[in-house]
Structure formats: structure tokens, C-alpha cells
């Protein structure tokens, strides 16, 4: 009975051991699953490596703990039950290692490193931006100009850079080349990589120092030197001239000095001994007498002036002759009723836009063109493209009667009656005359017509 009870207890211990192992496996799987499913905001690839290493350490700890528990359980399996020092077997409780708080501290520390990297960026950015504006040939020209003149204002006025820099920009660039190690290092390396032809071109345009011009001034302006003269001067005063000078450049600069009268022997004429001030150009011009200046006679110009004068006289005479032919006066029609007819108007042909005043015994009606002109131009009233050049003729007889003769292709309607080409009709006062799409009202000046009729009767004039 005792052996059966011991075997029963041993089976119970083994069941508890298997349950503990099963719980341990489930806890390990839950731990790994929980660590892989966490939503962590990873900003850097380094953080992922750190977290991965931390996770591996946790897994190793879990495995080691499992091994320790297994050995302990193994020992408890084979320990005799009746020994006084044997402990009572219980289900083991294992707490897996989950390094969550440490991961949070690592993720908090990462932004500081990224911020520190961003702070160090502007220096290189400013350096490259400044270098992009200033080219290596500009830096070389600035350095050579300052070495030659020791004056930034003179360099700013006399040196032609690739970009239009101000004097303040030249000063800041020169100080940066002197005291800023990053800028000077980049500028020097860029100037060393320049092509020799570009370097020679910049050196050829270098400014001239005062000592160099003093040596060139030893050659007088009255002498015609050659290139050999300046080559000998260059070899003799090699310590004075810049190392990029040639005999040809010395000769060209000497010619410029002589052209602008900058050589010492080219002095200005002294003030006369009389003590009078030198007369200016304006004063000398005022003293000139215009009557003494005789212009040369130009026959061609005189001939053109005479011809133009004759053309002007001919045009004036033509206009004077045309005045007598202006038999119709055109007046604009307003909303107000026109006043009484004057003593020179025989009749009025009034339309919607204008009114024509008849002041001669015979007038022509039609549409003016290049080849023909009429007294009454109906195009002033409205669209007259369907009206003939010479549409009709209006005459006043000695009897005081007005007759309208139709001469165009289309008929003329007088008070609604058509008048075909070659026919004529008498016009009474307030008669309505329709020509194409234009309509007029014919009004007669009875007082003037009565006076004309009495005069014709007195002198027995034919009708």
C-alpha cells in the first residue's frame, strides 16, 4: 500500500512538472509574440538594431531560465520522498523578462542624437552656398588685386568679376578667406584645380601697382619703344613687376598711359603770363559774329525750295476755284426743330442724320467716289452701297419750280411714286424722296423763290 501511494504521488509530481513546462512554453510564446507585435516608432535604423539585440537578450534569458527550471525539476524527480530535507513539490512560477521600460528610454534618447546632427548641417550649407556665388577665378582675382593695390575699393572699381559684387561683399569674402578655415580650405582647393589657361587669363588682367607704373613712366611719350625695350625692362625689374606680366602687356599698358596723358612728361600747357583766365568754349562761341559766317550757296536746295513754292501756289489756286463749286452745305440734324431758312438757301433736303442746304440752281445727288464727286453725298446719311455714283439731278427753273431727274439704275420714289431712269418729276414743298433705303423731306424757301421768280419776270428770262 505504501508503494502504491508513493507511485501515485510520483505520478502527481510528474503531471505537475509537465504542466509547468507547458505553462513555461506558452509564456515564452506570448512573450515573443508580444515583443513582435508592439507598435514602436522607429526613427533610425540604429534603434532597430538596438531593439533587436535587446530582444535577443530577453530570449536568451528565457532559455536559460527554462534550463535552470528543467534541471531543478530533474533533481526533484529523483530525490527520495522520505528524506527529511526534501521539499514539498509545487508548480513552478516563472516570470519572463520583458525589457519594455528600457526600450522606451532608448527611443527617447534617439531624438537627441538626430537633433544634434541637424544642428551641425548649416555650416557646410552656408559654405557651399557662398562657394557657389564666388567662383575660383573670382577668389584668385580678389587675392591678386589686394596683393597689387592693398585697397579693396580699388579692387572693386578696377577688377571685373564673374558676378557684380558690392564693396561690402568683397570685404566679407576677403575676411572669410583670411579667418574662416572651412571657406579658405574649400577656396584654395578649388583654385588649385583651375586650368592653367584660366589662371593665365586672370593674371593677365591683374591690376597695376604704383611701383609698376613708376617703372613704366621712365619711358618718355616722345619715344617710340619696341617690345624689346619692355622685355629688357621686365628682366631688369623682375622683383617689381608681377610674375604674370609679359612684354606685350607692359607695352599695351604704356600705350594706355600715353593715350590718357598720364606720363610725367605729358604736362598741361601752363597759364599764360598775361594773367587772364583761359577762355571756355561757351565764351568763345559768344564772341563769334554770325554775320561773318558765309554759307556756301547750294543750287540743289534752292531749286527744291522754288519747286515746293510753286506747288503751294498751285494748290491755293485750286482751292479758290473749288469754293465756287461748293453748292451744298451739310448741316447735322438735332432733336430741335431747325430755324428759318436764310437768304441764300433755296431748298433743304432733310434726312434722319444730316440735312443738305441747296444754294445753287442745279445740284447733283449720288455717292462720291475716287473717280467722280457729287454735290450731295448720300453716304453721309447712311448705307449708300446700293446708290449709283450719279443718282439724280435737282434743278430750279425761272418759274420757281423744282424738278428732279432720275439718272441711276434703281428708281427714285417721290411721295410713293417710282421715277425710273431718264424721267423727271416736279418736287413740291414737304415732298418725301426715297432713294434706296434712305428717306428725305424736301422743303422750299418760298420767300427766296418768289423773289427769284419776280426778277425773272421783270427781265423776261426764259423758264
Mean pLDDT over all residues of the chain? Answer: 75
DSSP string, 97-158: ---HHHHHHHHHHHHHHHHHHHHTHHHHHHHHHHHHHS-HHHHHHHHHHHHHHS-HHHHHHH
Using CA atoms, how far residue 400 sits from 365, 395, 424, 449, in Å, is: 20, 10, 16, 6
Q: Is residue 280 part of a domain?
A: no
More confident residue, 67 or 2: 2
Portion of the chain with pLDDT greater than 70, in percent? 65
Q: Is residue 265 part of a domain?
A: no
Query: 21: closest CA among 103, 84, 77?
Result: 77
Based on the fold, state whether residues 87 and 182 are members of the same structural domain: no
Q: Is residue 109 part of a domain?
A: yes
Based on the fold, state whether residues 197 and 215 are members of the same structural domain: no
What's the rounded mean pLDDT across residues 34-57?
A: 51
**So what's the pLDDT on residue 463?**
62
Out of 87, 114, 141, a domain closes at: 114
Is the pLDDT score of 85 beyond 90? no
Based on the fold, state whether residues 365 and 454 are members of the same structural domain: yes
**So what's the pLDDT on residue 295?**
66
Based on the fold, state whether residues 55 and 15 are members of the same structural domain: yes
Is the pLDDT score of 405 beyond 80? yes
Q: Is residue 42 part of a domain?
A: yes
Lowest model confidence (mean pLDDT) among 16-30, 67-81, 179-193, 375-389: 67-81
Based on the fold, state whether residues 339 and 450 are members of the same structural domain: yes
Count of structural domains, the chain: 4
Measured distance CA(206)–CA(193) in Å, rounded: 20
**So what's the pLDDT on residue 140?**
92
Based on the fold, state whether residues 248 and 358 are members of the same structural domain: no
Out of 188, 204, 220, a domain closes at: 204
Based on the fold, state whether residues 192 and 220 are members of the same structural domain: no
Which residue bears the cell 531749286?
A: 303
Containing domain of residue 103, as a range?
2-114
Q: Is residue 13 part of a domain?
A: yes
**So what's the pLDDT on residue 436?**
85
Based on the fold, state whether residues 220 and 199 are members of the same structural domain: no
Based on the fold, state whether residues 184 and 94 are members of the same structural domain: no
Eight-state DSSP code of residue 34: H
Output 126-129 pairs: Cβ under 8 A, ≥24 positions apart: 127/182, 127/183, 127/186
Q: Is residue 289 part of a domain?
A: no
Condensed to tens digits (0 to 9), the pLDDT of residues 421-463 reads 889 999 998 999 999 889 999 999 888 888 887 877 776 666 6
Paired with 330 in beta bridges are: 356
Based on the fold, state whether residues 353 and 397 are members of the same structural domain: yes
Amino acid at each position: 500500500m505504501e508503494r502504491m501511494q508513493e507511485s501515485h504521488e510520483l505520478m502527481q509530481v510528474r503531471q505537475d512538472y509537465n504542466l509547468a513546462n507547458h505553462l513555461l512554453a506558452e509564456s515564452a510564446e506570448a512573450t515573443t509574440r508580444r515583443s513582435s507585435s508592439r507598435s514602436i516608432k522607429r526613427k533610425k535604423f540604429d534603434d532597430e538594431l538596438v531593439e533587436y539585440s535587446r530582444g535577443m537578450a530577453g530570449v536568451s534569458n528565457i532559455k536559460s531560465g527554462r534550463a535552470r527550471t528543467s534541471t531543478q525539476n530533474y533533481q526533484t524527480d529523483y530525490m527520495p520522498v522520505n528524506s527529511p530535507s526534501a521539499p514539498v513539490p509545487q508548480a513552478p512560477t516563472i516570470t519572463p523578462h520583458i525589457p519594455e521600460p528600457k526600450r522606451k528610454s532608448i527611443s527617447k534618447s534617439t531624438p537627441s542624437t538626430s537633433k544634434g546632427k541637424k544642428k551641425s548641417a548649416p555650416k557646410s550649407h552656408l559654405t557651399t552656398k557662398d562657394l557657389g556665388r564666388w567662383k575660383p577665378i573670382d577668389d584668385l582675382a580678389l587675392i591678386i588685386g589686394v596683393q597689387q593695390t592693398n585697397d579693396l575699393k580699388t579692387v572693386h572699381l578696377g577688377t571685373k568679376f564673374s558676378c557684380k559684387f558690392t564693396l561690402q561683399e568683397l570685404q566679407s569674402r576677403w575676411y572669410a578667406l583670411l579667418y574662416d578655415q572651412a571657406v579658405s580650405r574649400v577656396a584654395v582647393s578649388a583654385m588649385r584645380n583651375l586650368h592653367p589657361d584660366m589662371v593665365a587669363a586672370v593674371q593677365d588682367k591683374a591690376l597695376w601697382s604704383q611701383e609698376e607704373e613708376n617703372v613704366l613712366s621712365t619711358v618718355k611719350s616722345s619715344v617710340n619703344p619696341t617690345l624689346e625695350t619692355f622685355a629688357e625692362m621686365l628682366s631688369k625689374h623682375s622683383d617689381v613687376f608681377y610674375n604674370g606680366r609679359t612684354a606685350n602687356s607692359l607695352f599695351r599698358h604704356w600705350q594706355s598711359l600715353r593715350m590718357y596723358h598720364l606720363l610725367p612728361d605729358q604736362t598741361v600747357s601752363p597759364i599764360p603770363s598775361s594773367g587772364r583766365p583761359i577762355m571756355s568754349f561757351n565764351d568763345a562761341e559768344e564772341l563769334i559774329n554770325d554775320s561773318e559766317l558765309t554759307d556756301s550757296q547750294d543750287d540743289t536746295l534752292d531749286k527744291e525750295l522754288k519747286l515746293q513754292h510753286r506747288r503751294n501756289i498751285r494748290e491755293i489756286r485750286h482751292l479758290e476755284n473749288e469754293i465756287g463749286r461748293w453748292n451744298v452745305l451739310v448741316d447735322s440734324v438735332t432733336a430741335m426743330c431747325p430755324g428759318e431758312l436764310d437768304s441764300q438757301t433755296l431748298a433743304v433736303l432733310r434726312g434722319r442724320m444730316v440735312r443738305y442746304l441747296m444754294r445753287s440752281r442745279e445740284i447733283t445727288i449720288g455717292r462720291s467716289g475716287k473717280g467722280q464727286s457729287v454735290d450731295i453725298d448720300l453716304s453721309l446719311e447712311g448705307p449708300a452701297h446700293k446708290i449709283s455714283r450719279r443718282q439724280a439731278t435737282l434743278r430750279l427753273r425761272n418759274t420757281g419750280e423744282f424738278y428732279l431727274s432720275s439718272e441711276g439704275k434703281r428708281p427714285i420714289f417721290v411721295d410713293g411714286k417710282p421715277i425710273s431712269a431718264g424721267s423727271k418729276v416736279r418736287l413740291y414743298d414737304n415732298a418725301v424722296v426715297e432713294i434706296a433705303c434712305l428717306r428725305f423731306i424736301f422743303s422750299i424757301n418760298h420767300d427766296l423763290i418768289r423773289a427769284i421768280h419776280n426778277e425773272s419776270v421783270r427781265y423776261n428770262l426764259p423758264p
